[in-house]
Amino acid sequence: MKLQLALDRLTEHECFRLVEEVEEYIDIIEIGTGVIKEYGMAIVKEMRACYPDKLILSDMKTCDAGRHEAYQAFKAGSDIMTVMALASDLTIKDTLQAGEEMGTQVMVDLLEVRSKDRITELEQLGVSLVSLHVGKDKQSEGGFTTDLFSLVKESSFKIAVAGGINLESLSEIVQEEPDIIIVGSAITAAAHPKIVAKEMKRLISR
Ligand SMILES: O=C(CO)[C@H](O)[C@H](O)COP(=O)(O)O
């Protein structure tokens, strides 16, 4: 099980400071969508240069122009980029093909997907990695809960989980054995990010 640090709503300086602080406890550095909108692919390139051995995910949340956006992310040094499950099949196919060509991975974000039919379609498209995700705005009604796993039960996907995950919710989530735990604000907005990241790493490594 990997721990992914989501860098959202932060300045460039804050992103680098936080990664430096918690580096030893995280497996994947996520450059958040808003951070990419602010700083472009330049921040991905810079992160790659500073952390050549870490996995880097660019949270592109691509909805269209899949091939172009996937290449933007991969050429900047991302190991993984994200595309929305609600995008057209052609967009998803194009991102997957770009990933194959570059030897990299595509994570399909299941934000707001509720239909098992869409899950079957994604399997047929050849998707291998998805994220079960409660969006930032939706979190005002509650963060990620384990009932969300039912959407992908019996699927062959590797599963990432995201959406307001914190130290309180983590233990129950870990029991479902997802492949990747994505955590943003519980670490980035903590008074002591290193202590939280260390404890999260301990909980997922048991
Ligand atoms: O993709 C995202 C928002 O759309 C975030 O990266 C993800 O939800 C993790 O952050 P947090 O733990 O703060 O919810």
pLDDT of residue 104: 98
Q: 99 C-alpha to center of ligand 1: Å? A: 23
Tell which one of 28, 82, 136, 196 to mutate to probe ligand 1, the residue whose CB is within 8 A of the most ligand atoms.
136
pLDDT of residue 206: 78
Rounded to two decimals, the ipTM of the complex is 0.96
pLDDT of residue 168: 96
pLDDT of residue 165: 98
Q: Which residues line ligand 1 (CB under 6 A)?
A: 6, 8, 30, 32, 59, 135-136, 162-165, 182-186
- At 170, which amino acid appears? L
CA atoms within 13 A on the CB side of 46: 13
Which residue has the least CA distance to atom 6 on ligand 1?
A: 6
CB neighbour list of residue 54: distance below 8 Å, 6 or more residues apart: 23, 26, 27, 28, 29
Q: Which atom of ligand 1 is nearest to the CA of 189?
A: 13
Q: 124 C-alpha to center of ligand 1: Å? A: 27
Which residue has the least CA distance to atom 4 on ligand 1?
A: 135
Whether 3 contacts 161, CB under 8 Å: no
Which residue has the least CA distance to atom 9 on ligand 1?
A: 184
- Which structural domain range is residue 11 located in? 2-205
Count of domains forming the chain = 1
Whether 196 contacts 169, CB under 8 Å: no
Tens-digit pLDDT string for the chain (206 aa): 999 999 999 999 999 999 999 999 999 999 999 999 999 999 999 999 999 999 999 999 999 999 999 999 999 999 999 999 999 999 999 999 999 999 999 999 999 999 999 999 999 999 999 999 999 999 999 999 999 999 999 999 999 999 999 999 999 999 999 999 999 999 999 999 999 999 999 999 97
Q: Which residues pair with 30 in a beta bridge?
A: 6, 57
Which residue has the least CA distance to atom 10 on ligand 1?
A: 184
CATH number at residue 66: 3.20.20.70
Whole-angstrom distance, CA of residue 31 vs CA of residue 2? 16
